[in-house]
A and B are shown apart, each in its own frame.
Chain A
Amino acid sequence: AQTVTQSQPEMSVQEAETVTLSCTYDTSENNYYLFWYKQPPSRQMILVIRQEAYKQQNATENRFSVNFQKAAKSFSLKISDSQLGDTAMYFCAFMKHVPNTGNQFYFGTGTSLTVIP
């Protein structure tokens, strides 16, 4: 079974600073996908960034980037130039495709990030 671990239940960062959220996972799969989702107070789950395991290059989306270490099974999210709107719960997720049964997703327990003005 796949497990996703987020060891930081809560974090805070000063506005305009950089923060890194950690995520580790356990799997025997070789091909899979990793995601970071953001859940603001509105509770909508919003995709922040995705990474394919077969790609060595780390994904980047504007101020958001990941540090994907496949051998270490680590997938951290870096938020640069933090903004007040980044205050949210962040979930790390693992997805594998299973033939004939579809995509299976596994989520971490989340990290609550507060951006301090």
Chain B
Amino acid sequence: DAGVIQSPRHEVTEMGQEVTLRCKPISGHNSLFWYRQTMMRGLELLIYFNNNVPIDDSGMPEDRFSAKMPNASFSTLKIQPSEPRDSAVYFCASSLRARGNTEAFFGQGTRLTVV
């Protein structure tokens, strides 16, 4: 398996533009997480899905952020309109929903810069 795949790796956009980040979880995993990493706040959980259903979106900063998971192999995180303070590294991670010894597997992250 190629692991969790995120695209793009880097994104530079102008303030006010719409940004869409993409994630393909590991096949067979049924929990998917979106995190945001900044120097000031560290690693913040934005939202997580289980079996494609959003379970906890309390970490989503505001209505400009939205996330979808239309099927088990794809998720998007959208920011509209984007602002400079949204600049961060966004990680997607997936996990197998089961008891036992399982960790979260992370993608390479998307570095977003809003200018």
**A residues lining the B interface (CB < 8 Å):** 33, 35, 37, 43-45, 47, 50, 52, 91, 93, 95, 97, 100-110
Contacts and interface: CB of A to CB of B under 8 A. Distances in A.
A95 B42 contact: no
Given A52-B101, A97-B99, A105 B45 contact: yes
A50 B45 contact: no
Contact of B95 (A44, A105, A107): A105
Interface of B: 30-31, 33, 35, 42-43, 45, 48, 50-51, 55-56, 89, 91, 93, 95-99, 101-104, 106, 108-109, 111
Give the interface centre of A33, A95, A102, A108 by most chain B CB atoms within 10 Å: A102
Contacts, number: 60
Contact of A103 (B42, B43, B102): B102
A93 B30 CA distance: 20
Contact of A45 (B50, B55, B106): B106
A95 B45 CA distance: 13
A108 B42 contact: yes
B110 to A, nearest CB: 10
A105 B45 CA distance: 9
B43 A110 contact: yes
Contact of B108 (A33, A43, A97): A43
A110 to B, nearest CB: 6
Contact of B104 (A101, A103, A109): A103
